[in-house]
Amino acid sequence: MISMHTSPLQQPGSGDAGGMNVYVLNTARQLARQGVEVDIFTRATRPSQGEVVEVEPGLRVINVVAGPYDGLEKEALPTQLAAFAGGVVQFHRCNDVDYDLIHSHYWLSGQVGWLLRDLWEVPLVHTAHTLAAVKNAHRSADDSPESEARRICEQQLVDNADFLVVNTHEETKDLVDHYDADPDRIVVVSPGTDIDLFTPGTDRNTERSRRLLGIPLDAELVAFVGRLQQFKGPQVLIRATAELVRRDPGRKLRVIICGGASGAAATERQYMQLAHELGVSRRVRFLDPRPPEELVTIYQAADIVAVPSYNESFGLVAMEAQACGTPVIAARVGGLPVAVSEGETGLLVDGHDTNDWADAIEQLLDDDDTRLRMAGEAVAHAANFSWSASASQLASVYSEALSVEVEECPPRRERAGGRH
């Protein structure tokens, strides 16, 4: 596996680490437990990491030195593709290891995987996780667009990967509509959640969680978990909070926003400043990114988890929250209508209008019976998604890819539509 721009061992919610990190680490772990040996190549960001980290039997993380350990923005990572690819080739040559298949994650990794595919004459499976064309189509008005260079690189991967793995059927449509992808080479593999870790809280657990977080037991608590960037929509929740307080100043509403700033221009301070300008800074608490074991506390303490993203390939936070028995209010975008069963485990909101989000939050907070019913159904819904099942589906994709002989000099793939 290749995960160049972010290590699966990095804390999700910090920097560029997020749902992809969770996906890569958990699918790799389950694949290893099912007998598939996995090496994950990622860019080294600390000299103390060591080159090889043994995660568990059958699973290693290989830290490749490519560029400076720190201070390199994500936007500058394309300058290190050659160095990173060279590091992977050197490890392969010097460590007496042969790989049967490459699975790349995100477009940067895909560019390296594409090179190695032809060098080693093995199949390439690629998972985009996010797509430039889709992000640009759904971005907020004040969010920076993804570059045309990235879109072109993604088009090359769509054209040349042996199989494309996506999270939902909606992503299949995105690849076909925006990149002229061949549907026969696209496979849907639903992500999972750790239902042994993310478990529903009892009344005692909820009380304990609120005490740990310093939240009054009689408060209404809405939580946001994710990277702090416009695309994830924390500003949507902050504005909806201000609207709810305007409607009812006496409302005992509290909000927790857990995550770190992401992107060259993003800072936690801009969201704190927004809360201050809207007069809700005393109601909104910002927490640094937490490991999964501590996120359970936040999910169990919350009455609702909000996922106001402008697009999500699936929505792992929504699934983790539901596994903990917490209803979710999410934007009706990307894979979130799959992750959240509307009317059963939560609500879906069309768009990102402040009043619409305030209405949805108010509706669920004011209807205890519906919220409690959704809490129970959320647990059952999340139980249908497991990392073990995801890994088994991936193993089947790998087997199919390996059954097709990789041509030494494959013909150039022509695409319909002429998008270049």
Determine the topology of domain 203-382 in CATH: Rossmann fold (3.40.50)
Q: Which residue(s) pair with 258 in the sheet? A: 225, 287
- pLDDT, tens digit, for every residue of 210-232? 999 999 999 999 999 998 989 89
The rounded distance, in Å, linking the Cα atoms of 34 and 275 is 47
Q: Which residues make up each annotated binding site for Mg(2+)?
A: 299-300, 302, 326
- Contact between 406 and 153 (Cβ < 8 Å): no
- pLDDT, tens digit, for every residue of 49-101? 889 999 999 999 999 999 998 878 878 899 999 999 999 999 999 998 999 99
- Contact between 261 and 228 (Cβ < 8 Å): yes
- Its sign, for the CA torsion 356, 360, 365, 367, is positive
Q: Which residues make up each annotated binding site?
A: 5, 11-12, 16-21, 74, 106, 130, 150, 227, 232, 290, 299-300, 302, 312, 320, 326
Beta-carbon contacts of 369 under 8 Å, excluding residues fewer than 6 positions away, are none
- Whole-prediction pTM value? 0.83
Q: Which residues make up each annotated binding site for 1D-myo-inositol 3-phosphate?
A: 5, 16-21, 74, 106, 130, 150
What does the block give as tokens for 290? 């937490």
Q: Which residues make up each annotated binding site for UDP-N-acetyl-alpha-D-glucosamine?
A: 11-12, 19, 227, 232, 290, 312, 320
CATH 3.40.50.2000 segments of the chain: 19-192+388-403, 203-382
First to last CA, the chain: 28
| Domain at 19-192+388-403, CATH class | alpha beta
What does the block give as tokens for 398? 């790998």
Per cent of the chain over pLDDT 70 is 93
Q: Which amino acid is at 137?
A: A
Q: Which helix (H) or strand (E) holds 53?
A: strand 52-56
CB atoms within 10 A of CB 326: 30
